[in-house]
Amino acid sequence: MPATDERDLVARCRRGEDAAFRELVDMYSPMVFALASRLVRPPLRPEDVAQEAFLRVHRGLALFRGDSALGTWIYRIVSNVAFCGITSACVSGVVIRWRSAAEMPHCAALIQPLGTK
């Protein structure tokens, strides 16, 4: 995607345009799912990693500086979610517990709690 189109897409997402975020998901979901499929093993599912990654993209778009390509930033988010684990993830109706941030200090800044405890 050309840089100007990418900047426009990010700007539209930041303005809260649902269609823009759908466009972003449609554009990057093949890459996100393929990467998640390569990085995770059961009981975690690639779909769960992809969903969590897109939630983090949505929450973090306001902080995206544009120093790298949008796809590079999204790739890194997917990698972080897969490598550091999801704090808690529902898999087939069972909540599994991954390592806490305290057990993985190098990931502490990357793990954000899902819901309240």
Cβ atoms of 74 and 32 closer than 8 Å: yes
| pLDDT tens track for 29-39 | 999 999 999 99
Q: Identify the CA nearest to 78 among candidates 50, 102, 100, 105.
A: 50
Q: What is the DSSP string of 68-80?
A: S-HHHHHHHHHHH
- CA dist 72 and 45 (Å) reads 22
On whether the CB atoms of residues 100 and 113 are closer than 8 A, the answer is no
109 pLDDT band, cuts 50/70/90, is: very low
pLDDT digits (tens, 9 = 90+) for 89-100: 443 344 444 444
- The per-residue pLDDT for range 67-79, each reduced to its tens digit, is 899 999 999 999 9
CB atoms near residue 100 (< 10 Å): 13
Query: Domains in the chain, please, with CATH?
Result: 3-107 (1.10.1740.10)
Q: Would you say residue 44 has pLDDT above 70?
A: yes
Model pLDDT for residues 15-31, shown as the tens digit of each residue? 999 999 999 999 999 99
| Percentage with pLDDT > 90 across the chain | 50
Average pLDDT value for the chain: 77
CA–CA distance, 73 with 64 (Å, rounded to integer): 8
- 97-117 mean pLDDT: 43
